[in-house]
Amino acid sequence: MADRDLDQMMRRMAQTRVNRRGFIKAAGLTSFSAWLAACSGGGTPAPASSTPPGSATPGSGASASASAAPVETEGALYMYNWADYINEENIETFKQRYGIADWTYDIYPSNEELYAKLQGGATGLYDVAAPTAEWIPDLVTEGFIQKIDWSKVPNQSLINDKFRKLWWDPNDEYQLPKDWGTTGIAIRTKYVTEDIKSWKDFFDVAPKYSGKIVVVDSMGDVFTAPLKALGYSLNSVDPGELAEARELLRGLAPHVLARNSDTYEEVLKDGESGAVLGITWTGGLDELKAEPQWADIKYVIPEDGTLYWMDTWVILADPPHPEAAHAWLNFIQEPEIQAKETITNAYATPNDAAKEFIPQEMLDDPTIFVPDEIFPKLEGAENVSTNPLRVEIWEEFVSSIGG
């Protein structure tokens, strides 16, 4: 595969949604994207016969944890992250192992808010964050993140080679891949009788389930639905195509019950007074499915295509606790630790060594580790969130929800 082709493909990378949730409340589990395999040219997805991300041999000859002995830290770590995006047991293990007496975990609901807070002067307040990959170039340009000292993060060698040297960080200087997933349709099949397989189907049935729909609070994710239903790129900035997408969103908005990134699973719990359909991620839905009263929940990767994304670990500029920040990046990629993250978050890991500790049932779940035949239906995102027309349409949609 030509480097140029991979670079083009990865430029279509994941624009993040709302809450990259982990649902760590689920029994304290002991819990980007791209099909980074052979691909066709022009930035198109890999053919069905290509190797899925995470199924090749780990890079740099690594086959087991390269973790160094615990290092001295400053005794504190300040993290800025998506809600509930870390396994609780891993947090406690890290605190005990590295003597972290002062742990701060502040949250943001979108990459836009992370970026805005840093623009507003938050540099120097936090140590680490988890932005989506396509935001890395802007964060570098603005001086909001710093280069990682890889000598302090030996476990970076466990990251699959296919996740390395991609367009947002061609020299692998600023980010460590975290996990990856998709945006799709959540369905309470107990209440929704139609066989919904596509975004087009979603829009067709929406009026029937008026007041029973939840969508994530993320412009890029929500735009995916109308644009892919119309057969366009989810990154489109074409005025004509966006005009058509606007009409679909205008038709959807009155039927939306809630715009929720952090707790959309709660909205889906009560099918009588809550939601029965949603534009969501996979995170949290497996937790619902595990309970008998919500076992009817289903997640669909739409046949007409959808978005995939990858989140990354970065060290923010002027971190108050740089040693602890590097220790965290290394710690979180230890295979058993990383496996717990995958189990908690229900998102695929780029760390192949972690797969040994992930239940086979999860490895076989096509909504998490996407199978080859689904790859051509996925598309990554470019950072088009500042396009004026898209912003205008989004603001109109938000203001029209529920009426």
DSSP string of 8-67?
HHHTT-----S-----TTTTT--------SS--STTPPPPTTSPPTT-SPBGGG--S--P
Nearest CA among 32, 92, 98, 36 for reference residue 67:
98
Which whole-number Å values give the CA distances from 88 to 181, 337, 340, 398, in the listed order? 21, 11, 10, 33
Q: How far apart are CA 397 and CA 393, in angstroms?
A: 6
Nearest CA among 281, 287, 300, 306 for reference residue 192:
300
Q: How far apart are CA 110 and CA 353, in angstroms?
A: 30
Pairing of strands 378-380, 306-315: parallel
pLDDT average per 10 residues of sequence, the chain (403 residues): 36 38 31 30 26 34 49 95 94 97 94 93 94 92 97 96 87 96 95 97 98 94 97 97 98 96 90 95 86 95 92 97 98 98 92 96 91 83 87 97 85
DSSP string of 287-352?
HHHTSGGGTTEEEE--TT-EEEEEEEEEEBSS-S-HHHHHHHHHHHTSHHHHHHHHHHH--B-SBG
pLDDT for the residue numbered 287? 83
* pTM for the structure as a whole: 0.71
Specify the DSSP class assigned to residue 132: B
pLDDT for the residue numbered 27? 28
Q: How far apart are CA 370 and CA 282, in angstroms?
A: 12
pLDDT for the residue numbered 374? 84
